Amino acid sequence: MVFSRSGISKENLASDLWQMGIPSEVLNKDLTFLKYDSDWIISIDNLTKTSSIDDFTKLVQYRGKILKRGNDYILIEQNSKKDILLFLVPASEMEKANGFFDYQDQDKDKVRGKYWLSISQITLN
């Protein structure tokens, strides 16, 4: 796992994005703060100003068959062994789920008005 409060470089994410089939322009204006990978999952978490999952649908829809879509998530079947899950929720939801940032003091300006974008590739067994 890699966490960086100031952001993980796009160069550091290039191979993961390529493996996931996600174009790098998905993260062009985002602060990527967390990268996790294991045998079963690759996950990249970001803070973004983009507030609509529709903005990401256009960039990832050609990466596979959209299995399910909601107001704040997209589930894509990449192939028979791999799915991609994207979700986009307000940073206030991120505050409930993890403690990577100091939401009240040091990092409040960093997260205020932002959305939590998580992109995960899940390997199925």
- The predicted-structure confidence for 44-58, as pLDDT tens digits, reads as follows 999 999 899 988 777
Local structure of residue 92 (DSSP, 8 states): H
Question: What is the C-alpha to C-alpha distance for residues 50 and 88, in angstroms, rounded to an integer?
Answer: 9
With beta carbons less than 8 A apart as the criterion, state whether 18 and 43 touch.
no
Which has the closest alpha carbon to 41: 113, 101, 110, 125? Answer: 125
pLDDT for 75 equals: 92
- pLDDT of 125 higher than 70: yes
For residue range 68-91, what is the model confidence (pLDDT) as tens digits? 999 999 999 988 999 999 999 998
pLDDT, position 72 = 94
Give the model's confidence band at 36: pLDDT under 50 very low, under 70 low, under 90 confident, else very high: very high
Q: Is the pLDDT of residue 25 over 80?
A: no
As given in the structure block, the two tokens for residue 6 are 């100031």
Query: pLDDT band at 61, cuts 50/70/90?
Result: low
Kindly report the pTM of this predicted structure. Answer: 0.88
